[in-house]
Structure 1
Amino acid sequence: MSQIPNDPAGTTQQFENFARQTPQQPVKTSGVNMGLVIGVVAVVAVVAVAAIAFMMV
Structure 2
Amino acid sequence: MSQNPQDPAGTTQQFQRFQQQGQTERSGPNLGLIIGIVAVVAVVAVLVIALLALG
The TM-score by the shorter chain falls in which range? Answer: 0.5 to 0.7
The change in CA–CA distance for 1:14 and 1:5 in structure 2 (over 3 A counts) is same
**Alignment size in residue pairs:** 45
**1:42 match:** 49
Task: Report the structure number with the largest CA radius of gyration.
Answer: 1
**2:11 match:** 11
Larger RCO of the pair (alpha carbons < 8 Å, separation 6+): 2
Give me the TM-score of the superposition, normalised by structure 2.
0.56
Instruction: Give the helix-richer structure, 1 or 2.
Output: 2
Structure 1 unmatched runs, 5+: 49-57
Q: CA RMSD in A?
A: 2.9
Q: Percent identity?
A: 36
